[in-house]
Structure 1
Amino acid sequence: MSAVEAAEQAATRPTNYFYQGDWPGGDYTFFQTAWIVDDLFAAMRRWTTVYGVGPFLVLPKRSQLVDYRGEEIELEIQLAVSQSGPVQLELIQQFSDRPSVYREIFGDRPGGFHHVCTISKAFEETKAHYESLGYPSIARIKGPMKVEYFDTFKDFGHITELAEYSPEFFGAHVRNAEICKTWDGTDPIRMLTRGGYRLPES
Structure 2
Amino acid sequence: MTRDGLIATLGPIRQIAWLTEDLDAATGRWRTFAGIGPWTVYRNVTLEGRYRGRSARVTIDVALSYQDGTQIEIIRPHGRGPSPYHDEGGRVRVGMHHVAWLVQNVAAAKETATKGGLDLLFEAEAGGGATRVAYLQAPDDPAMLLELIAATPATLEGFHTGAEASRYWDGVSAGQELDLSG
TM over 0.5: yes
Instruction: In structure 1, give the amino acid aligned to 2:43.
Output: P
Corresponding residue to 1:147 among 111, 133, 138: 133
1:109 shift after superposition: 6.9
SS at match of 2:18: strand
Corresponding residue to 1:183 among 156, 169, 174: 169
Judged with a 3 Å threshold, the aligned counterparts in structure 2 of structure 1 residues 53 and 122 are, in CA distance, closer, same or farther, namely same
Corresponding residue to 2:80 among 97, 107, 132: 97
Gap runs ≥5 in structure 1: 1-27, 195-202
Conserved 8 A contact 2:87-2:93: no
Instruction: In structure 1, give the amino acid aligned to 2:155.
Output: F
**CA–CA distance in 2 between the matches of 1:43 and 1:51?**
11
Choose 1 or 2 for highest CA Rg: 1
| 1:9-49 CA-partner distances (Å, limit 9, x unpaired) | xxxxxxxxxxxxxxxxxxx6211000010100010111111
- Structure 1 range deviating more: 77-86 or 96-105: 96-105
TM alignment of 1:87-166, pairs within 5 A: 87-104=70-87, 110-143=93-126, 144=129, 145-152=131-138, 154=140, 157-166=143-152
User: Which residue number in structure 1 is paired with residue 23 of structure 2?
Assistant: 40
Instruction: In structure 2, give the amino acid aligned to 1:96.
Output: G
**CA–CA distance in 1 between the matches of 2:75 and 2:92?**
15
User: Which residue number in structure 2 is paired with residue 85 of structure 1?
Assistant: 68
Conserved 8 A contact 1:31-1:117: yes
User: Which residue number in structure 2 is paired with residue 9 of structure 1?
Assistant: none
Gap runs ≥5 in structure 2: 1-10
Instruction: In structure 2, give the amino acid aligned to 1:69.
Output: R
Instruction: In structure 1, give the amino acid aligned to 2:75.
Output: I
Q: RMSD of aligned C-alpha atoms?
A: 2.5
Higher RCO structure (Cα 8 Å, ≥6 apart): 2
SS at match of 2:14: strand
1:71 shift after superposition: 1.4
1:152 shift after superposition: 2.9
Q: What is the count of residue pairs matched by the alignment? A: 167
Identity of aligned residues (%): 27
Query: Normalized against structure 1, the TM-score is what?
Result: 0.73
